[in-house]
Amino acid sequence: MTSAKASSAMLLARELVTASIPGPTADAETRRFLADGCASGVCLYGRNITGPEQTLSLTDALRKVGGPDFLVSADLEGGYVWRLRPEATHWPSAMALGAANRPDLTRLIAHAAAREFRAMGIDTPFAPVADVSDHPRNPVIGTRAFGGTAKHVAQHVTATIGGYREGGVVSCVKHFPGHGNTDTDSHFSLPVLNHSIERLNTVDLVPFIAGIRAGADMVMVSHLLVRCLDPDTPASLSARIINALLRRQCKFQGVIVTDALDMKAVTDTYGLAEASVLAVMAGCDLVTFNGTPDDGRAVHAALAKAIASGSLPAEQIEASIGRTRALRRSILRNRRPSLDIVGSEAHQKLALQVARLAVTSFDPSAVRTYGGAIVVEFDPRLPFADPNVRPPYRRFATDYASRLPAQETIVIHPHDWAAQAESLMPSIRAAGTVIIATRNAWRDPQQALALTTICKASGRAVHVAMRDPQDTLLTDGMAHRYATYSDDPSTISAIVDVLTTGSVTTGRCPVSLS
């Protein structure tokens, strides 16, 4: 191989890589990695973000090295899939928007969110999620989906894409061809779908096709084994799924990106560099992964080698690079708003409006709770060592107690309940009302046991499912039940308002509970 051919292959390989970086600054290692031409974009994670000013400074610094069209992405779906700090508006989850079921508000929120992302130099939030959440025990999608029917999800996907486009960011529908009906988390193992072609065409693919018709810029392909399409290869590495299904049947002409290739659904079988080559060979235009700069160099080198050897056909690579460059250049035309828009009062009001519309009561009469209640909040995010550490997010128990005097507020990690139950239960039994807030108790046996124990012991129990509404099945007949689908600050304010005023709720659960 000539040095000219190797150099050309390295330049081409750069265009196919969206890497990750180690920290919140463009340090020497990061600058060297980008200056060496190993990636045309990065995906930011929580470790990279400490505030709006810092995020803008970081993205500007990355573009000084990577070029003005350097693509900056982050997972910013809303709800619990969020990377930004409290200064930015934290939007309710997709399922909260689905419960409110106001596509006009979904579009307004997408537009407002896009403006904040752009102000900080973020080009794509890797959203919306187009999965149809119709498996009640799905451990990974849950409230990330708008709902449990194809039509409902499609409406909100379409609205989100329109809002993102108007706000100046790149839309990315995911997780193709549909991760909503799995009982396995692809972060930890490979989900297998035994769907029929008919099921895919009438359910899973419907929101993706709606998103494509609405002008989606990108489609993210997931790590799923879809037996009826390709019984041997995950979707993200399958030419049958990427080329035959997504390109030809669904008629998508934009940029195809992999889900993170460091997920165990892939790495249990393939190395990161090997998977990157296979993904591009199958038809993906961009590979993404959460790794070190050394991982990024290895991926870049593997792609360059495959290009130089002809394993990755020149015509295919040219087409992919044409799509990714066109996408990056299109972003340059979008004016960047002032950083002052981040967390603006108008955006906070919009978030609260939709959060309030999303709150769902599962019992026929509204319940007003009064001062003197005991509030128990289960929070798996607590550090085991020091549950009194002030978190960088709002607490339901604290907000409730600030509105009405509480007899006691208890914020506890579910796994600490057994050790503290004996000391806590006497006051719970004696209380007139106990309000319990849970987070995904349906898949946490210790939290579920604590929840039902409290409800059975209490004279009057109110259960708030802060994330997955499946939690409400645990207390059917034992408590007045509410679902919020999210635990962002606006949603916490919304449910506290409902509980302290007895306001009527209008949200409707957008998924089937069983």
For residue 88 the two structure tokens come to 């930015």
Catalytic residue (choose from 36, 69, 185, 187): 187
Q: List the one residue out of 252, 296, 246 whose CA is nearest residue 276.
A: 296
Q: Are 252 and 206 in contact (CB under 8 A)?
A: no
Phi, psi of 114 (to 5 degrees): -60, -40
8 Å CB contact between 219 and 257: yes
Which residue, chain included where needed, has tokens 């039994």? 429
DSSP 327: H
> Of residues 123, 131, 259, 444, which has the active-site annotation?
259
Phi, psi (rounded to 5 degrees) for 174: -150, 160
**Each residue of 364-394: b (16+ CB within 10 Å) or e?**
eeebebeeebbbbbbbeebeeeeeeeeeeeb
Please state, in angstroms and rounded to a whole number, the distance separating the CA atoms of residues 35 and 119. Answer: 25
Q: Is there a catalytic annotation at residue 259?
A: yes
Which of 160, 159, 284, 164 minimizes the C-alpha distance to 219?
284
Q: What share of the chain is helix, strand, coil (3-state, %, to 5)?
A: 45, 10, 40
Determine the residue type at 142: G
DSSP 503: P
What distance in Å separates the CA atoms of residue 508 and residue 99, rounded to the nearest whole number? 5
Euclidean distance between CA atoms 220 and 222, whole angstroms: 6
Give per-residue burial for 223-252: e unless 16+ CB within 10 Å, then b: bbbbeebbeebbbbbbbbbbeebbbeebeb
Question: Which residues, other chains included, contact 426 with Cβ-Cβ below 8 Å and sequence gap of 6+?
Answer: none
For residue 70, which amino acid is it? F
Tokens standing for residue 38: 């190993």
Kindly state the tokens that stand for 80.
């619990």
Which residues are the active-site residues? Answer: 187, 259
